[in-house]
Amino acid sequence: MSYIEPAPIKDKENPLESMMQRFDKAVELLGITEEMYQILKVPRKQVIVGLPVTMDSGEIKTFEGYRVIHSTILGPSKGGIRFDPDVNLDEVRALAAWMTWKCAVVDIPYGGAKGGVACNPREMSAGEMERLMRAYTTAMLDVFGPDQDIPAPDMGTGPREMAWLMDEYSKSKGMTIQAVVTGKPLVLGGSLGRTEATGRGVMVSALAGMEKLRINPYRATAVVQGFGNVGSHAARLLRERGVAIHAISDISGAYYNDQGIDIDAAIAYRDSNRGSLEGFSGAETFNPDELFTIPVDVLVPAAKEDVITKINAGAIKARMIVEGANGPTSSKADDIIHEKGIMVVPDILANAGGVTVSYFEWVQNRIGYKWTLERVNRRTDRIMKDSFDKVYQTSLKYKVSLRIAAYIVAIEKVSSTYTYRGGF
Ligand code: NAD
């Protein structure tokens, strides 16, 4: 099988290049050596596999799959598996590094990894997906393991695919090994609280930021872009804590109500309307391009990457941005936002509630005991709040944004662990 590495995209803002620019900035401030820079930058392991799969037509189609282990210095590597036509090694490599920094920011004992298969799940039957997932798992038997590398769902995969992965891996070992993967269905050892965990972390981060800015949640307003898993749970939990959600949006459009949107009603409507807010009567529709220009206390981008750019950053009127999505802000927009004095709780901190509860799932699988929802939530809240405080203190110490401070916290942790362990 030939492998052609994709060329980097020149002069185009993209979330992965933006991450590297912030990484470089944090490294410069920390003053780490060139040797350490290379250790942190180069992934430990990159695996490319060819996966022949029998399609429903009887034809055998061969897919290309990847798994990149960026770091295992803090513990077994952790990261999702992406099924998407655009997956390539370059992207998987950058996303694996992203996982290293995210786990280190919230201080959970994992390294970073990511996997992917170039395929189009929307055009595949359940049977084809199952055969592909099982083929990928078999090809990665010596990579995955509860003490080595623990996958999870990402774009195009979910609990169903994780169940197949766990089953295939377990069969190869002759025993049930739940802890090899997280994001499983509850009956297979999934954790209570996982579904809402990322939105919950966004809520905790938003409240922690509001406290620093002396914003009273009961008088605060917010807008949320994206009304899927992260956006709707973040909106619901913020509303529960007093924040009025003036606008929400999804792929169907944007919805505004100056009295505050009834979020439970919006969720119920979406769930009865094939996942879409289209036709929701509890708010007026408006131009989605104007979402970021609404003067509110909190803006939560929770849809997709690269939505806040140098083109629209100047028009943002929120006092703080809490990044539910991965990479919603380009690095060129960072300076504009910083100059405007807007606090940004960065993605690697704000949306780390998800990986935190994945870690709890793995812990529960290993001890063979199920925690209550109350225990999962309490521990998630504590990790998120402690992590926010650490990043905030670091931002004061280095006089930098919370984003650069988050990278400093992560890089400092990983690089000092390398230094203590040594052995080069
Ligand atoms: P999802 O598919 O459940 O929801 C995405 C939502 O965004 C949908 O409501 C969709 O209609 C909307 N959307 C898509 N394009 C839009 C656009 N142009 N304008 C407005 N809305 C748009 O996805 P999710 O799991 O909620 O993930 C959202 C983001 O959060 C992604 O960037 C993801 O990588 C990130 N994230 C998710 C998790 C998690 O646990 N689900 C964890 C960390 C980060």
- Give catalytic status of residue 399 as yes or no: no
H helix intervals, 273-346: 331-339
- Spatial CB neighbours of 360, under 8 Å, sequence gap ≥ 6: 191, 193, 371, 376, 379, 380
DSSP-derived pairing of the beta strands 320-322 and 343-345: parallel
Per residue in 153-176, pLDDT (tens digit) is 999 999 999 999 999 999 999 999
C-beta 226 within 6 A of ligand 1: yes
Closest protein CA for atom 20 of ligand 1 = 250
The helix (H) or strand (E) run that includes residue 66 is strand 60-69
**CA 104/CA 7 separation, integer angstroms:** 29
pLDDT in tens, 323-352: 999 999 998 999 999 999 999 999 999 999
- For ligand 1, whether the C-beta of 195 sits within 6 Å is no
Q: What is the pTM of this model?
A: 0.94
Q: How many CA atoms lie within 13 A of 306 on its CB side?
A: 8
Q: Determine which one of 25, 114, 184, 390 is catalytic.
A: 114
Between CA 185 and CA 188 the distance in angstroms is 5
Write down the residue that tokens 């131009």 correspond to: 287
For residue 251, give the DSSP letter. Answer: T
Of 280, 304, 326, which is best to mutate to test ligand 1, by the most ligand atoms within 8 angstroms of its C-beta?
Answer: 304
C-alpha 257/C-alpha 255 separation (Å) is 7
Pocket flag, ligand 1, residue 158 (CB < 6 Å):
no
CA-closest candidate to residue 155, choices 89, 92, 108, 106: 92
Please give the distance, rounded to the nearest whole angstrom, from the Cα atom of residue 84 to the centre of ligand 1. 15
Task: Give the pLDDT of the chain (424 residues) as one tens digit per residue.
Answer: 333 333 334 445 677 788 888 999 999 999 999 999 999 999 999 999 999 999 999 999 999 999 999 999 999 999 999 999 999 998 899 899 999 999 999 999 999 999 999 999 999 999 999 999 999 999 999 999 999 999 999 999 999 999 999 999 999 999 999 999 999 999 999 999 999 999 999 999 999 999 999 999 999 999 999 999 999 999 999 999 999 999 999 999 999 999 999 999 999 999 999 999 999 999 999 999 999 999 999 999 999 988 999 999 999 999 999 999 999 999 899 999 999 999 999 999 999 999 999 999 999 999 999 999 999 999 999 999 999 999 999 999 999 999 999 999 999 999 999 999 987 7
What number of other Cβ atoms are within 10 A of residue 313's Cβ? Answer: 22
Q: How many residues can be counted in the chain? A: 424
Instruction: Return the ligand 1 atom nearest residue 197 CA.
Output: 40
